[in-house]
Every structure is written in structure tokens, then in C-alpha cells.
């Protein structure tokens, strides 16, 4: 039986996935089966490496996704299990040349395994990145507590002001999340509509804050995607801590925020 040999570079990326999954669990951002992670691994494999492995499963992908090789977590799987059960709760799949089906070429070693129900969102984001930001190979979706709370606040209806108030909490937020947060309107999970609004978000911002749901970031690797989410959430957390203590934070001035742009 033909099997897939993982290049060293891919093995290293998967180790980072396990590490980031541990961070998400420790932060209480990945309750039960919440969240998912994916990577576009197409550039690491030749077509002959991935063709002819596993059975095809029908799926309606955007036709431009044909030939993609994607690492992705499984439906109903717990991100905390990525720490030490990577091959059981995630997989690498190959999208056929017609973009009408996928086959699992690595992982998925558990009964009734299937890729996350957010597969269409992840595939669509990877397609968007391949055209507009080819350096971005990783997508991380999780449930950062304070950012989700912010999506319930009236500031969510004023994206510019929400970003200004989060950026002003400390210089690092402006420097390390320079494009800021997109207030992505609510859309039902696992739908093409959610994929569309998320792709719109990444045209201008580093983080897509899904209204009343969670947040998603894309970056060259999973650790950098984690950093966007971690730093953005820190800004939101500090802002809420000030509110909870009963005062309005002084914050960095607009002039100080502009001065920081030289470091972004």
C-alpha cells in the first residue's frame, strides 16, 4: 500500500501545531471540540507523492483549489489532543484535480474520522492566500475569551474605534498587530458565507473577529498566527480590565500610535 512520507519541513510544522494547540487549551480558548487549525502544504509535495492514497470523498471545493494539499484538524476532535495524538485527530488531505473530492493521505487514524466542518472556510482562505498572500500558509481559528466579549460590545459596530482602543493599551499591540482586527459580521459556521466574510477580513486586517463566535488569523506558520491572536486578545483583555476596575484607560495618544508605525 502506498504511504506518504512527510518531509522534515512538514514534520517541523506539525510539531508547531502541537505546541500551539497546547497554548490554546491552556488559555481556555479551545473548549471541547472548539477551534481548528490548517496549513497549505502544497508546496512541500509533488503530485505523484499524494495521488493514489486513500479513498476519495465527494466535496464541492472552489475549482481553483484543485491539487491543494492541506493539513487540517478533524471534526468533533479536541484541539488539546493535538499535543500527543496528532495522527488521530488531524490529517493531511489532497484535493483532486477536479476539485470535486478529497482523499486523506496522512493521519485521520480513528474511527469515523473526517476533516473539520469548517473545511470550506479553510480551503477558501488558503485559495485567497495563494493568490494575494502566498507567504501565508497557516490558518488558526479559536475562541479567545476577551475578543469574543468585545464582539458583543457596541464597539464592534465601529471597527476603527475598536482597533484604536485596543491598540492604545500598550505599544506591542500596535507593533505586532499592525493591521488590526476586522469586525466580521455573524455568519453560520461551516458555510460558504462565513468563508466569504473571512476572506474580506484578510484583505485589510491581521485578525478576523467572528461576531459572537471566535477569531481567526492567517500567517506564514501557525506560531505567527497564534501571535496575532495572542497579542490582539491581550489588548482586549487589558481594556476590559480597566473597564472592570471602573476607570477609562488613558491609553496611547493618536500621535504616539502614529509614531509606532515605523516599527510595523
Q: How confident is the model at residue 2 (pLDDT cuts 50, 70, 90)?
A: confident
Mean pLDDT across the chain, nearest whole number? 96
126: nearest Cα among 102, 162, 158: 102
The count of other CB atoms within 10 Å of the CB of residue 33 is 18
Are the C-beta atoms of 15 and 83 separated by less than 8 Å?
no
pTM reported for the whole predicted model: 0.95
pLDDT digits (tens, 9 = 90+) for 16-41: 999 999 999 999 999 999 999 999 99
Are the C-beta atoms of 188 and 194 separated by less than 8 Å?
yes
Catalytic residue, candidates 118, 135, 159, 196 = 118
Report pLDDT for 191. 80
pLDDT digits (tens, 9 = 90+) for 208-238: 999 999 999 999 999 999 999 999 999 999 9
Report pLDDT for 1. 61
Does the structure show a pLDDT above 70 at 76? yes
Q: Express as a percent the part of the chain with pLDDT over 90.
A: 94
Return the half-sphere exposure (C-beta side, CA atoms, 13 A cut-off) of residue 15: 7
Report pLDDT for 37. 98
The count of other CB atoms within 10 Å of the CB of residue 179 is 14
Report pLDDT for 195. 87
Question: Cα–Cα distance between 104 and 29 in angstroms, integer?
Answer: 27
pLDDT digits (tens, 9 = 90+) for 50-75: 999 999 999 999 999 999 999 999 99
Report pLDDT for 190. 74
Residues 117-128: what's their mean pLDDT? 94
The count of other CB atoms within 10 Å of the CB of residue 42 is 18
118 is catalytic: yes
pLDDT digits (tens, 9 = 90+) for 177-197: 999 999 999 988 778 888 899
* Bridge partner residues of 209 (DSSP): 183, 215
Report pLDDT for 39. 98
Amino acid at each position: 500500500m502506498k504511504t506518504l512520507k512527510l518531509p522534515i519541513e512538514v514534520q517541523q510544522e506539525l510539531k508547531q501545531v502541537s505546541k500551539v494547540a497546547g497554548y490554546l487549551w491552556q488559555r481556555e480558548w479551545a473548549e471541547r471540540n472548539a477551534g481548528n487549525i490548517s496549513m497549505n502544504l502544497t508546496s512541500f509535495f509533488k503530485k505523484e507523492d499524494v495521488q493514489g492514497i486513500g479513498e476519495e470523498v465527494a466535496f464541492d471545493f472552489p475549482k481553483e483549489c484543485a491539487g491543494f494539499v492541506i493539513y487540517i484538524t478533524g471534526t468533533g476532535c479536541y484541539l488539546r489532543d493535538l499535543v500527543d495524538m496528532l495522527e488521530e485527530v488531524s490529517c493531511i488531505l489532497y484535493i483532486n484535480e477536479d476539485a470535486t473530492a478529497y482523499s486523506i493521505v496522512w493521519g485521520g487514524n480513528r474511527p469515523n474520522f473526517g476533516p473539520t466542518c469548517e473545511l470550506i472556510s479553510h480551503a477558501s482562505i488558503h485559495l485567497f492566500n495563494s493568490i494575494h498572500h502566498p507567504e501565508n500558509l497557516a490558518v488558526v481559528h479559536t475562541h479567545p475569551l476577551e475578543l469574543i466579549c468585545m464582539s458583543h460590545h457596541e464597539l464592534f459596530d465601529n471597527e476603527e474605534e475598536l482597533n484604536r482602543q485596543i491598540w492604545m493599551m500598550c505599544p506591542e499591540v500596535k507593533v505586532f498587530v499592525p493591521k488590526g482586527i476586522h469586525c466580521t459580521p455573524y455568519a453560520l459556521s461551516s458555510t460558504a458565507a462565513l468563508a466569504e466574510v473571512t476572506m474580506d477580513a484578510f484583505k485589510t486586517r491581521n485578525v478576523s473577529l467572528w461576531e459572537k463566535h471566535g477569531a481567526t488569523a492567517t500567517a506564514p506558520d501557525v506560531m505567527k498566527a497564534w501571535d496575532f491572536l495572542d497579542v490582539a486578545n491581550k489588548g482586549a483583555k487589558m481594556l476590559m480590565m480597566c473597564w472592570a476596575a471602573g476607570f477609562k484607560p488613558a491609553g496611547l495618544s493618536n500621535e504616539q500610535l502614529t509614531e509606532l508605525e515605523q516599527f510595523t
